Structure 1
Amino acid sequence: MASAAHDDIDVLAKAKRALPHDYAPTDDEDYMTDKQLNYFRVLLLEWKKSVYAASEGTLQSLQDGPIREPDLNDRASSEADWGIELRTRDRQRKLIAKIDAALRRIDSGDYGWCQVTGDPIGINRLIARPIATMTVEAQQAHERREKVSRDS
């Protein structure tokens, strides 16, 4: 079941390759110009298209697979593969929701700004993770708070 091997990074890299190569945002420009926002909109739409393409493979493999295997080992293996496929499909569904939220932030003018501090997230972080909603520092603080509350 090959679609389980597709992770977010591979699909994002595929989306980036589909972008026109005549422009890439840099730190030297004014922050969140129309040109940059358009770049990220196209990137997010390409990423979404790539995720949908990968999810079609997941759905197809789930539909093609046999429901019951006569051998217990084969059945266990098939069920494990199906579990992986279903988790992959769930991750893809959640990623689509995050991409849609980022597109809404572009439309509302909030894209690229930290939802916690209001500071710029940064071009390099957005290129690496276009759905980012926090600066690296705010994200690290959030993860520390999560870890502390989990450990309590």
Structure 2
Amino acid sequence: MAKLTEQDIRDWKGPEDDYMNADHLEFFRERLIQMKAELVANASQTTSHLQEQEATPDPADRATLEEEYALELRTRDRERKLLLKIDSTLRKIAEENYGYCEDTGEPIGLPRLLARPTASLSLEAQERRERQKKQYAD
């Protein structure tokens, strides 16, 4: 069978027992590998950029550069955490238990996984967790 496209995933109306079939798993595996490659490329670019740092005598320019670097490093730290989540998700795909909610065991749903391929909770479970977190924060 030909490789699935994002539109194929959006349009899928197959039977429930065909949810997360081999074609779906392969589609999301490839998407996650692509995301990972982009994040690694970004990290390499940041490393090169930081190594090119030039000394700036003007304190205002130096402060601006330092703020830009700090922002870039915070972004890369978030991406580093996402890389860990991608690796964890790729393991789930290899074990063929991807696409199911960690809390309920129910299907997460293809539209949610298209939007967030690393999702580990159904929308309902995620909303429930966020409400509980908000209750404890108040």
Q: TM-score range with shorter-chain normalisation?
A: 0.7 to 0.9
Give the aligned residue type for 1:24. Answer: D
Task: Report the Cα distance in structure 1 between the residues aligned to 2:44 and 2:71, rounded to whole angstroms.
Answer: 15
Over the matched positions of the two proteins, sequence identity in percent amounts to 42
Aligned with residue 97 of structure 1, among 81, 84, 90: 84
Task: Report the Cα distance in structure 2 between the residues aligned to 1:99 and 1:139, rounded to whole angstroms.
Answer: 18
Larger Rg: 2
* Regions of 4+ moved over 3 Å: 19-24
Contact 1:24–1:39 (Cα < 8 Å) also in 2: no
Instruction: Classify the secondary structure of the residue corresponding to 2:8.
Output: coil
Task: Report the Cα distance in structure 2 between the residues aligned to 1:143 and 1:111, rounded to whole angstroms.
Answer: 22
Whether 1:40 aligns to 2:25 is no
Q: TM-score, normalised by structure 1?
A: 0.79
Deviation for aligned residue 1:61: 1.3
Query: What is residue 24 of structure 1 aligned with on the other side?
Result: 8
Contact 1:62–1:85 (Cα < 8 Å) also in 2: no
Contact 1:113–1:119 (Cα < 8 Å) also in 2: yes
Aligned residue-pair number? 132
Point out where structure 1 has 5 or more consecutive residues left out of the alignment.
1-18
Point out where structure 2 has 5 or more consecutive residues left out of the alignment.
none
Deviation for aligned residue 1:150: 2.2
For 1:75-90, list aligned pairs within 5 A: 75-90=62-77
Task: Report the Cα distance in structure 1 between the residues aligned to 2:8 and 2:74, rounded to whole angstroms.
Answer: 33
For 1:60-79, list aligned pairs within 5 A: 60-66=48-54, 68-79=55-66
Q: Deviations over 1:48-97 (max 9, x none)?
A: 1111112222222111122x432111111011011101101101111110
Aligned with residue 107 of structure 2, among 120, 133, 148: 120
Give the aligned residue type for 2:39. Answer: V
Q: TM-score, normalised by structure 2?
A: 0.87
Deviation for aligned residue 1:22: 9.0
| Cα RMSD after superposing both structures | 1.9
